[in-house]
Amino acid sequence: MTDKYSAKRFDIKNEDSIDIDVLETMPFNYPHRQTKVTIKTKEFTSVCPWTGLPDTAELLITYVPNNTVVEMKSLKYYLLSFRNVGILQEHAVNRILDDLCKLLNPKSMEIEARFESRGGLDTIITAEYSKPE
């Protein structure tokens, strides 16, 4: 009996498909405060770089803004651009952190992703950034 799934693979985009140009900022009028912003979505998706099967996660983005905040619609489009990108879960979380820190120059930021079970294993990944003093 042959394994009819061994050659099965879905189209996978590479990381160049992640649309960082769509991201926009808005001025933040209270940089003197330690205002904490938390953005939550249950709709983050990327794909396994080997099989193309979907990885879905609840994503929490928490940051203390400096002079700008992220514009929400642009963030949604940015996150949607991961949809068919073949990327390891750990790399996706760190990529989001790097892209948003470069965009916002925040005082601090934390990205937490709670990925759905794969093979009976749940994965929670957290990456953090703190602005050097």
Phi-psi region of 91 (alpha: psi -120 to 50; beta: other; left: phi over 0): alpha
Please count the other Cβ atoms lying within 10 Å of the Cβ belonging to residue 70: 21
- Choosing from 48, 98, 99, 101, the catalytic residue is 48
User: Choosing from 11, 19, 55, 99, which is the catalytic residue?
Assistant: 55
Q: Is 3 a catalytic residue?
A: no
Whether residue 55 lies in the annotated active site: yes
In whole angstroms, give the CA distance from residue 76 to residue 40. Answer: 11
The residues that are catalytic are 48, 55
